[in-house]
Structure 1
Amino acid sequence: MRTLAIGDIHGGLRALIQVLERAQFTTNDTLVFLGDYVDGWSESAQVITYLIELSKTNECVFIKGNHDVWSEEWLASSFINEVWFQHGGKETIESYTGFSEEQKRAHLNFFEAMPLYHIDSKNRLFVHAGFTSMHGVERETHKETFYFDRTLWEMARTMDKRIQKNSELYPNRLKHYSEIYIGHTPTLYYHTYEPMNAINVWNIDTGAAFTGKLSAIDIETKEIFQSDLLKDLYPNEKGRNK
Structure 2
Amino acid sequence: MRTLVIGDIHGGYRALLQVLERANVTATDQLIFLGDYVDGWSESPQVIDFLMELNQIQSCVFLRGNHDELLLDYLEVNVENIDENLWYKHGGKTTVVAYSTVSKEKKATHIAFLKQLKNYYLDEKNRLFVHAGFTNLQGVAFEYFPKLFYWDRTLWETALALDEKLEKTDLLYPNRLKIYSEIFIGHTPTTRIESMKPVQKACVWNIDTGAAFKGKLTLMDVDTKAFWQSDLLPDLYPDEKGRN
Instruction: Report the equivalent of 2:207.
Output: 204
Residue 107 (structure 1) aligned to one of 106, 110, 114: 110
Deviation per CA, 1:102-157: give whole Å up to 9, x if none.
11000000000001111011110011111111111111111121111111011111
Instruction: Report the equivalent of 1:142.
Output: 145
Instruction: Report the equivalent of 1:94.
Output: 97
Deviation per CA, 1:52-71: give whole Å up to 9, x if none.
00111111111101100100
Deviation per CA, 1:151-178: give whole Å up to 9, x if none.
1011111222332323333211111111
Please, which moves more after superposition, 35-44 or 154-163? 154-163
Instruction: Report the equivalent of 2:34.
Output: 34
Query: For the Cα contact (< 8 Å) 1:4–1:30, is it kept in 2?
Result: yes
The AA in structure 1 aligned to 2:215 is G
For structure 2, the 5+ residue unaligned runs are: none
Instruction: Report the equivalent of 2:217.
Output: 214
Post-superposition offset of 1:218: 0.3
Give the superposed CA RMSD: 1.0
Residue 127 (structure 1) aligned to one of 113, 127, 130: 130
Query: For the Cα contact (< 8 Å) 1:208–1:230, is it kept in 2?
Result: yes
Whole-angstrom distance in 1 between the partners of 2:126 and 2:38? 28
The share of aligned pairs that are identical, in percent, is: 57
Query: For the Cα contact (< 8 Å) 1:30–1:60, is it kept in 2?
Result: yes
**Which structure 1 residue ranges, 4+ long, deviate > 6 Å from structure 2?**
none
Whole-angstrom distance in 1 between the partners of 2:172 and 2:4? 31
Post-superposition offset of 1:99: 1.7
Residue 180 (structure 1) aligned to one of 174, 180, 183: 183
The AA in structure 2 aligned to 1:23 is A
Name the SS of the counterpart of 1:17 in structure 2.
helix
Post-superposition offset of 1:18: 0.3
Residue 88 (structure 2) aligned to one of 85, 89, 92: 85
Residue 193 (structure 2) aligned to one of 190, 193, 210: 190
Instruction: Report the equivalent of 1:63.
Output: 63
Please, which moves more after superposition, 159-168 or 71-80? 159-168
The AA in structure 2 aligned to 1:35 is G
Please, which moves more after superposition, 98-107 or 205-214? 98-107
The AA in structure 2 aligned to 1:14 is R
Please, which moves more after superposition, 128-137 or 152-161? 152-161
The AA in structure 1 aligned to 2:29 is D
Whole-angstrom distance in 1 between the partners of 2:210 and 2:95? 18
Whole-angstrom distance in 1 between the partners of 2:168 and 2:45? 42
Post-superposition offset of 1:77: 1.0
Post-superposition offset of 1:201: 0.1
> Is 1:235 aligned to 2:234, yes or no?
no
Instruction: Report the equivalent of 2:18.
Output: 18
The AA in structure 2 aligned to 1:86 is K
Instruction: Report the equivalent of 1:2.
Output: 2
TM-score norm. by structure 1 comes to 0.97
